[in-house]
Amino acid sequence: MEIKLSEGELKLMDLLWESEPVSAKALSLTANQRYGWNKNTTYTVIKKLVDKCVIQRTEPNFICTALVDREKIRKAETQSLIKKLYNGSKSALFSSLLEDDDLSEDELDVLRKMIEKR
């Protein structure tokens, strides 16, 4: 099953993963502090995530828990990005990263070590 999440849904999932299980009310307060979202926005995003079977809502107190772990979402989003922007080519993505002038020597070393491990 392919999971596609919007930017707002990803933001809410990050909040949930940080503190789950957590009430929708607490998520709403945190989303307001971090993103300026009102209660209705948060509850709308929660409903969308429940409909996508990404989070579970339980009573009492509308407690939310993730049904999908962060790493699974990261992998799915990364694959989607590679398909969308690099025509499915991981080497093209990697080349783009290497061309980035902002990479520090430490970051380059980490990438080298990752390649050597493979």
**Tell me: the pLDDT tens digits for 4-25?**
899 999 999 999 999 999 999 9
Reported as a single tens digit per residue, the pLDDT across 58-107 is 999 899 999 999 999 999 888 989 999 999 999 898 888 888 778 888 98
Domain 1-86: give its CATH code. 1.10.10.10
Beta-bridge mates of residue 64: 22, 57
Confidence category of residue 1, pLDDT binned at 50, 70, 90: low
Where are the chain's structural domains? 1-86, 90-118
Phi, psi of 54 (to 5 degrees): -100, -30
d(CA 78, CA 71): 10
pLDDT of residue 50: 97
Q: What is the reported pTM? A: 0.78
